[in-house]
Structure 1
Amino acid sequence: MATKHENLVSWLRDAHAMEQQAERMLTAQKERLHNYPKLRTRIEKHIEETLGQRETLERALTRLGSEPSTLKDMSGKLMAFGQAMGGMVMSDEVVKGAMSGYVFETLEIASYTVLIAAAKAVGDTQTQQDCEAILQQEIAMADWLREHLPELSQAFLDRSDTPGLEAKR
């Protein structure tokens, strides 16, 4: 059975892979967004946050005598690639991408909530504080997506109803 410390390290490695996946998905989505500047701008901001989160997780793993899992990171990258390819064929890619992004943000929120509890359980206040800061960024992104889904959906519907306008992205 794994110790509290071992579980914390394993979950930090999972979170690192999750952030690798997030960066790939967000970057692929951003590169294809042409007609939705608000969403593109918010995604660009979250990519920067995601890169910082990944660095924070790497520092935490180093402090705990570990490093990111190459296997988990590669799995995350492959999943992100599959999601990006799948999104490209949907006629409502922008809406489905925003919905998927919201779902992914809630997964990240759950992950950092667990990491905060684990860090607290082992007395690692630095990791706890780092994960609390990351959690706030994930909550902010999820809130932004939830608040903008109606507007984004309406913009997509308006564009799809207008001949000659691309709505997909």
Structure 2
Amino acid sequence: MDGDAHGDPVHELYHVGLRNQHALEMTAIELCRRQVERLEHYPEMKARLQQHGVESEQQAARLQAILDRHDSSASSLKNTVTGAMGNIAAALHVPADDEILKNTFANYAFEHFEIAAYTSLIAMAEAVGDTASIAPLQQSLAEEKAMGEFIQAQTIPTTARFIELTRAGTKAGV
């Protein structure tokens, strides 16, 4: 355990970061769910988004366990707002003919935001001496990196499939 956080601005910053990341995982869960509901022509992306939704739920649980150890809790307001933002973000691309491409680009950026956030949380955990949290944060970081690599690897095949479906006159967006 990292000791007493009361009054220490670094501990407080760390706890805020943990709460923010928990809320961000709520967004990720909603994004995955909404996108999976709509994907029909991109089975690899659908399967990986389903898997990542489960990973995001596990990441949120890890963050909650860390917060619990620190006698802190996730922000209900942040979770509600960011969950709604996930739904809105997923819905923003629905009317676009190239919905799958826009979602792919947005997902790639989102994964890299999460990679940066977990990297920062690990540095904060080290700074405050919270060694018990480093391994679970590193596990989440590895999962986010793997998802980012998957999306990067799928960008060209997804674009090629989109072009193929468009040429065939099929609704190619999802």
- 2:88 aligned with 1:82, yes or no? yes
* Deviation for aligned residue 1:2: 5.6
Aligned to 1:166, which of 149, 171, 174?
171
* Structure 1 letter corresponding to 2:171: E
Give a deviation string over 1:101-154, Cα, whole Å, max 9, x none: 000000000000000000000111121111111000000000010011001001
Structure 2 CA distance for aligned equivalents of residues 95 and 110 of structure 1: 23
- 2:162 aligned with 1:128, yes or no? no
Structure 1 CA distance for aligned equivalents of residues 103 and 114 of structure 2: 16
- 2:61 aligned with 1:61, yes or no? no
What is the TM-score with the length of structure 2 in the denominator? 0.94
Q: How does 1:93-132 map to 2 (within 5 A)?
A: 93-132=99-138
Aligned to 1:30, which of 22, 29, 36?
36
Structure 2 CA distance for aligned equivalents of residues 44 and 11 of structure 1: 26
- 2:150 aligned with 1:147, yes or no? no
Give unpaired runs (5+ residues) of structure 2: 1-6
What percent of counterpart residues are identical? Answer: 32
* Deviation for aligned residue 1:81: 1.8
Runs of 4 or more off by more than 2 Å in structure 1?
none
Q: Which moved more, 1:84-93 or 1:149-158?
A: 84-93
What is the TM-score with the length of structure 1 in the denominator? 0.96
Give unpaired runs (5+ residues) of structure 1: none
Match of 2:4 in 1: none
* Structure 1 letter corresponding to 2:36: K
Structure 2 CA distance for aligned equivalents of residues 113 and 158 of structure 1: 38
- 2:29 aligned with 1:20, yes or no? no
- 2:45 aligned with 1:45, yes or no? no
* Structure 2 letter corresponding to 1:166: K
* Deviation for aligned residue 1:85: 1.7
Q: Please tell me the root mean square deviation across aligned C-alpha atoms, in Å.
A: 1.1
Partner of 2:96, secondary structure, is coil
Match of 1:6 in 2: 12
